Amino acid sequence: MKRGPCLQRSNQTHLNHLPATRVARAWIPIPSILVTLGVALLLATLVLLTVGTSPLSVYGHLLKGSIGSWQKIVQVLNVWIPLVLCATGLLYTFRINLWNIGIEGQVMIGAVFSTGVLRSEWFVGCPMSALFISMLAAMMGGGLWALFTGYLKTRGGVNEIFAGLGMNFLAQGLILWLIFGPWKRPGMASMSGTELFPPAVWLPTLLSYRLSILGLVLAIAAILVTTFLLRHTRIGLAINAIGRNPRASFLLGLRTDRYLLLTMMLAGCFAGLAGNIQVTGIYHRLIPAISCNYGYLALMVVMLSNYRILAATIIAFFFAGINVGSIQLPMALQLDSSFSGVLQGLMVLSAICFQGWRSKRRPSASRGGTP
Amino acid sequence: MILPDPVILFAGIVASATPVIIAVIGETISEKAGVINLSLDGTILLSAMTAFSVAYQTQSILIGIGAGTFVGGIIGAGIAALSLYCRVSQVAIGFVCALMAKDLAYFLGNAYARLNGPQIGDSPLPFLRHLPVVGPILFNHNILVYCSLLLIPLSTWFLFYTRMGLTLRAVGENPLACYARGIRPQFHQIVYSGIGGALVGLSGASFALCFKPGWGRPQGAEGTGWIVLALVIFGGWNPIRACMGAYLFAFLQVAAIYLQNRFDAIPAQIFQVAPFPLMISTLLVIQLVQQDNRKKNVASKGVFRKFLAILSGSAPASLGKSFL
């Protein structure tokens, strides 16, 4: 993997979405963070005031409910793991300028494949190998599901957004059919899902807390692998090049179609792994809402991070905290827990509008990486 | 299994397709003008919540419908304006709005959940309802159903046979050329996206005040927005064809209820999936026909080709692209 330093540097400056003349890189974009948080909190406070509750108590509950105790932090990490897996997967597709909205379905298919492996009777003897194989199957399933969407794009000319949306609903239909049909509980089928797996095939957790170390390790590994792949390999260079200018990349001899399919498959693999962890680590069965909207949430995370991996991991933790913290809003203040979604949405909205507005005011700055 | 009376069956299809049809026409108008409003799912729920809560507070259905329509229009116009003046991709902003408006609806509507509010009653048309078969199917409903039936020809006429419709389509196809001709694409895109959004809002209001009365979590209108999006594509950006798709979908849903009695194991949600494979195959067919046209295969005009050409359509050329 030898590349001239000149090539590498030019690649880096393009990645940071900075004008070519600027050498120094703003590591922490403080003005955008301040504006985003300020505008989002202002609007969210207005929303809270219209409902007639004290905003301070709501924010206090959000904080206490997310990082108030070790128990809560473990819960946040349990949300963070699938979120980060999806977000790292999405980075590949966003870098190549694909809007992989089908990530939600890819998570679901990962969950379906791992449930299929864990239900089968081949691995009754050795639960660890069953877990391992279910992980592989989930990655394969998610990858293939994404690959089909990719083929629809490269061969069929179907926009990946519509294809992905359609595939999401197909995956949801598949899960419902499985839960009410072939995989229903003996006696009765219900929305509460399939039967619980034996505890032997649950993801091993830390003694008193329900945190699975393996999941955490996988999430961190995904971050490292993605960073390495996108920054320091030829594949990453090709992905970024195609994302910036597909025509020129094609003329220079890159097989753009193959790279599109590759990124879709990588995203699907990561999403499938997230689905596997949802099944083996959290619910221990297949339920209709197995994906918990983490795919869609990860899309928001990556948009807010401006397609940067380190920022995405931090924002994923932040969003996971908001999600977990809002769980106790109905109990404590008789509010709906969907306040988390409002807060997250307002943040993403103000961030992308601010970025767009700034790039418009300063045309030399590139377009913030927006596909 | 007892087969249902076909007249009642078709009357049910016409009624249950109504909110979908109103939203499909709204989205078709906005996409024809080049603005893709991806926020439908959230918009429908937020306007449903607004319509119900306002109607509950004021005890006036008319004000409720107005409020719901207004919310939809604001969201539609807002997406167009932000994409033009803040240079944000329409898909990104629409997607975020879809998720956020849904959560906002649940959050703000929490106080109004499971209350009994005002409802739109049936108002059969005086003479038409006594027509032999057509009467009970088409003219024995509430005012919204008649609205949707009127909207289908009205929107087609507006889009394809008026000067304003021509401008609308031109803005969606080539905003730069419009600009050169002295038309302001920004203005038209914002206005038509607003009108389309208002129709989507009306559809949401009709859910809360008539077809799935009341507000709750879940309300019952969840997922309709995405289905509408699929149906607009299935219709090839033509209001009449898209509405045919909506009726087909309503037929599948009504059929699902009867089928469910027979195969009680299968939940009705599975039939909600039907529009999506149809959407994907329509997009595939469009691509196929365009490739065919590019090769200038005029000689190969078999029945199958003609059939494909009917199923095809073409998206507005600058759909989803920001003019500024």
Query: Which of A107-111, A211-215, A270-274, B182-186 has the least mean pLDDT?
Result: A211-215
B96–A158 CB contact, under 8 Å: no
Question: B45, B97, B107, B215: which to substitute to probe chain A, counting the most A Cβ within 10 Å?
Answer: B107
- Identify the pLDDT of residue B131: 82
> CA B49, CA B201: separation in Å to the nearest integer?
10
Interface subset of B 5-24, CB within 8 angstroms of A: none
Q: In chain B, which residue's Cα lies nearest the Cα of A44?
A: B104
Residues 6+ apart with CB under 8 A from A144: A109, A265, A268
B269–A173 CB contact, under 8 Å: yes
Going A217 to A218 to A219 to A220, the CA torsion angle's sign is positive
Residues comprising chain A, all counted: 371
> CA A158, CA A154: separation in Å to the nearest integer?
8
> CA A88, CA A162: separation in Å to the nearest integer?
22
- Identify the pLDDT of residue A209: 73
Interface subset of B 283-322, CB within 8 angstroms of A: 283-284, 286-287, 290
> What angle (nearest 5°) sits at the alpha carbon of residue B281, between those of residues B279 and B286?
95
E strand or H helix that includes residue A241: helix A234-244
Task: Report pLDDT digits (tens) over B268-298.
Answer: 667 778 888 888 888 888 888 877 776 665 5
DSSP result, A112-181: HHHHHHHHSGGGSS-HHHHHHHHHHHHHHHHHHHHHHHHHHHHTT---HHHHHHHHHHHHHHHHHHHHHT
A356–B88 CB contact, under 8 Å: yes
For residues A330 and B95, is the Cβ–Cβ distance under 8 A?
A: no
Asked if pLDDT for residue A160 goes beyond 60, the answer is yes
> CA B120, CA B50: separation in Å to the nearest integer?
16
Task: Report pLDDT digits (tens) over A51-110.
Answer: 888 899 999 999 998 888 888 899 999 999 999 999 999 999 999 989 999 999 999 999
| Residue A69 CB coordination number (10 Å) | 11
For residues B208 and B214, is the Cβ–Cβ distance under 8 A?
A: yes
Task: Report pLDDT digits (tens) over A23-43.
Answer: 334 567 788 888 889 999 999
Nearest to B278 by CA among B302, B315, B252: B252
Residues of B in contact with A181 (CB under 8 A): 265-266
Kindly list the distances between the CA atom of residue A12 and the CA atoms of A7, A16, A234, A241, A306, in Å, as whole numbers in the listed order.
9, 6, 13, 11, 15
Residues of B in contact with A108 (CB under 8 A): none
> CA A96, CA A266: separation in Å to the nearest integer?
12
Q: In chain A, which residue's Cα lies nearest the Cα of B103?
A: A338
Task: Report pLDDT digits (tens) over A215-261.
Answer: 999 999 999 999 999 999 999 999 999 999 999 999 999 999 999 99
- Identify the pLDDT of residue B288: 80
Backbone angles phi, psi at A309, to 5 degrees: -75, -40
Backbone angles phi, psi at A292, to 5 degrees: 55, 25
Nearest to A89 by CA among A307, A338, A363, A355: A307
Tokens of B54: 């306002």
B273–A172 CB contact, under 8 Å: yes
A346–B92 CB contact, under 8 Å: no
- Identify the pLDDT of residue B87: 82
> CA B221, CA B218: separation in Å to the nearest integer?
8
Asked if pLDDT for residue A316 goes beyond 80, the answer is yes
Kindly list the distances between the CA atom of residue A51 and the CA atoms of A45, B54, B130, in Å, as whole numbers in the listed order.
10, 14, 49
Identify whether B218 is preceded by a cis peptide bond (ω within 30 of 0): yes
- Identify the pLDDT of residue A101: 93
- Identify the pLDDT of residue B177: 92
> CA A96, CA A235: separation in Å to the nearest integer?
11
From B100, B110, B279, residue closest to A336, measured CB to CB: B110
> CA B292, CA B283: separation in Å to the nearest integer?
14
Report the gap between the CA of A170 and the closest CA in chain B (Å): 6
For residues B117 and B58, is the Cβ–Cβ distance under 8 A?
A: no
For residues B219 and B23, is the Cβ–Cβ distance under 8 A?
A: no
Residues 6+ apart with CB under 8 A from A16: A25
- Identify the pLDDT of residue A27: 64
> CA B291, CA A239: separation in Å to the nearest integer?
27
Task: Report pLDDT digits (tens) over A169-208.
Answer: 999 999 988 988 888 887 776 778 888 888 888 888 776 6
Side chain identity at residue A37, one-letter code: L
B230–A340 CB contact, under 8 Å: no
* Weakly modelled stretches of chain B, pLDDT under 50: 1
Nearest to A264 by CA among A83, A112, A158, A106: A106
B108–A300 CB contact, under 8 Å: no
For residues A325 and A341, is the Cβ–Cβ distance under 8 A?
A: no
> CA A112, CA A139: separation in Å to the nearest integer?
11
Report the gap between the CA of B90 and the closest CA in chain A (Å): 11
CA distance from start to end of chain A: 28
Report the gap between the CA of B114 and the closest CA in chain A (Å): 14
- Identify the pLDDT of residue B264: 61
Report the gap between the CA of B95 and the closest CA in chain A (Å): 9
Tokens of A32: 């955008």
> What angle (nearest 5°) sits at the alpha carbon of residue A261, between those of residues A260 and A262?
90
CA distance from start to end of chain B: 60
Mean pLDDT, chain A, rounded, equals 85
ipTM rounded to 2 decimals: 0.89
- Identify the pLDDT of residue B133: 81
- Identify the pLDDT of residue B266: 64
Tokens of A36: 């985003």
B100–A345 CB contact, under 8 Å: yes
Interface subset of B 123-162, CB within 8 angstroms of A: none
Report the gap between the CA of B267 and the closest CA in chain A (Å): 7
User: At A11, is the secondary structure helix, strand, or coil?
Assistant: helix
From A162, A353, A356, residue closest to B233, measured CB to CB: A162
Backbone angles phi, psi at B221, to 5 degrees: -95, 5
Kindly list the distances between the CA atom of residue B158 and the CA atoms of B151, B161, B163, B168, B169, in Å, as whole numbers in the listed order.
10, 6, 8, 10, 11
For residues B188 and B168, is the Cβ–Cβ distance under 8 A?
A: yes
For residues B207 and B49, is the Cβ–Cβ distance under 8 A?
A: no
Residue showing tokens 């753009």: A256
Write the burial class of residue A330 (CB in 10 Å: 0-12 exposed, 13-18 middle, 19+ buried): middle
Nearest to A285 by CA among A183, A186, A216: A183
For residues B77 and B191, is the Cβ–Cβ distance under 8 A?
A: yes
Residues of A in contact with B237 (CB under 8 A): none
> CA A262, CA B118: separation in Å to the nearest integer?
54
Asked if pLDDT for residue A8 goes beyond 80, the answer is no
B87–A367 CB contact, under 8 Å: yes
> CA B159, CA B98: separation in Å to the nearest integer?
26
